[in-house]
Structure 1
Amino acid sequence: MLMFAGIICIAIGLINVINPNFAWYLKESWKVDGDSEPSDTYIALTKIGGVIAIVFGVIFFFTGIFS
């Protein structure tokens, strides 16, 4: 089960690192009328969160393999 959770965390982390705008469009774009873009701070924090998710995913994955 931990291996599966690790794979999910890694996938979410990769999406956040590669395309941080994706999360903004899912969560916030419907609230704004017209053209709007996420701020640079939002993009940076999303990328940092993605790296953290990847680290936790790797830990979960290897914990699941060795348990």
Structure 2
Amino acid sequence: MWLFVAIFVVLGLVGTISPRASWVLSNWWKVEGDAQPSSISLVLYRIGGIVFLLVGIFLIYRIV
């Protein structure tokens, strides 16, 4: 169970702190060349990161 919590927290931190890195990690195989994410895509990745982080924190409190 702690593995899932760690995955949620790490993905949440990456998505919240650097949504561009999260975009690259999830889309590196789809694009060729120097593709850049749109601003709305970065906002959505940041929101997703916050949700993942909140789920990770919630799971920590449920386990402990």
TM category, shorter: 0.7 to 0.9
Same amino acid, percent of matched pairs? 32
Q: CA deviation at 1:56?
A: 0.7
Amino acid at match of 2:49: G
In structure 1, the gaps of 5 or more residues are none
TM-score relative to the length of structure 1: 0.79
Mapped partners of 1:8, 1:26: distance in 2: 14
TM-score relative to the length of structure 2: 0.82
Q: CA deviation at 1:33?
A: 2.8
Aligned residues: 63
Mapped partners of 1:32, 1:17: distance in 2: 23
Mapped partners of 1:21, 1:50: distance in 2: 11
In structure 2, the gaps of 5 or more residues are none
Tell me the C-alpha RMSD between the 2 structures.
Answer: 1.4
Larger Rg: 1
Q: CA deviation at 1:34?
A: 2.2
Q: Which residue of 2 aligns with 1:36?
A: 35
